[in-house]
Copies of this chain bind each other. A is one copy, B any other.
Amino acid sequence: MSLNLTILGCHSATPRVNAYPTSQYLEINNRHFLIDCGEGTQRQMRKYKVGFSKINHIFISHLHGDHFFGLIGLISTFGILNREKDLHIYGPKGIKEITVLQLKLSKSWTKYQLIFHELESKESELIFEDDKVTIYTIPLDHRVYTNGFLFKEKPKLRKLHIANIQQYDEIETCDYHNIKAGKDYVLSTGEVVMNDELTIDPPKPKSYAFCSDTAYKPSIIPIIKNVDLLYHEATFLNDREDLCEKTKHSTAEQAATIANNANVEKLVIGHYSSRYSNLKGFKKEAQAVFKNVELAEAGNLHSINSFPVKVLN
């Protein structure tokens, strides 16, 4: 079980040479997801060696350019690279129309299947599930319809306590599956061996919540409660908290307050306004409320494992 988040871009809209807009690559339980896709994302994927063929699901939070203007280029590039696998795209209603129009005008229909999952609900909903991972929306408060996304590993099977199992000669290897699934074992004598004698707890499933862009919205706390890793936007410092209501963004302190009240393990903040040339204030103001904070930076790998942050370049 592992959770690795690679920041591909983490700045807000105004472009600068080394400030890419929002995009993240998430590996969770051997599943691979792209979250948001600002202009230049495909370049950043190349730079940080994110395999194009691993991406089968792309999640777009909202239709502001700094979160999705790179999507059409990536879709086109997949076509150029002769992709054959389906590509699933999750995002606000309208994302299909805009993508299809661009492909039509450029006469660049993809040979692979594009499958759109257009989102409209204002309540958190399950939008993806397989045997390893579930993904829910996190309704946010921004100037346009916006969702964050909650990625959760499914609970693993319990681990066998081999030493204890070996006390019972009649338990065979073929019984292990049921025991790992949590079932008690009934001996031939009719005696019941409780499962918690035969197994130990599996690792706690990992979870990641992505919340960008949004004004301070405490009502998301029950949805993201206890996640291992939270990315929350922090566009402003307290000096310009006055802009938050108008622009529907958050301060670093507000992001940290969400993290603290949701009891998350670790917070990563980003989406810094270009008005701040030095980012130190973001960490300082967040840490006044919540200690375990990292500043997002393109090329950083945040792992919920042994190495908390690794620099990829």
Give me the interface of A with B, judged by CB distance under 8 Å. Answer: 13-17, 39-40, 42-43, 46-47, 63-65, 69-70, 72-73, 76-77, 80-81, 92, 94-95, 97-98, 101-102, 105-108, 143-144
Q: Please, could you name 24 A-B residue pairs with CB atoms under 8 Å apart, sorted by A?
A: A13-B77, A13-B80, A15-B42, A15-B73, A15-B77, A16-B43, A17-B46, A39-B42, A39-B43, A40-B43, A63-B106, A65-B76, A65-B102, A65-B106, A65-B108, A69-B73, A69-B76, A92-B105, A97-B101, A97-B105, A98-B98, A98-B102, A106-B144, A107-B143
Q: Are A13 and B76 in contact (CB under 8 A)?
A: yes
Q: Are A39 and B101 in contact (CB under 8 A)?
A: no
Chain B residues lying within 8 Å of A107, measured Cβ to Cβ, are 143-144
Q: Are B64 and A43 in contact (CB under 8 A)?
A: no
Q: How far is the CB of A44 from chain B (nearest CB, A)?
A: 9
Chain B residues lying within 8 Å of A106, measured Cβ to Cβ, are 63-65, 144
Q: Are B39 and A73 in contact (CB under 8 A)?
A: yes
Chain B residues lying within 8 Å of A46, measured Cβ to Cβ, are 15-17
Expressed in whole angstroms, the Cα–Cα distance for A42 and B17 within the complex equals 9
Q: Are A108 and B17 in contact (CB under 8 A)?
A: no
Q: How far is the CB of A79 from chain B (nearest CB, A)?
A: 9
Chain B residues lying within 8 Å of A97, measured Cβ to Cβ, are 101, 105
Q: How far is the CB of A184 from chain B (nearest CB, A)?
A: 55
Chain B residues lying within 8 Å of A94, measured Cβ to Cβ, are 105
Known: A43-B17, A80-B14. A64 touches B98 (CB 8 A): no
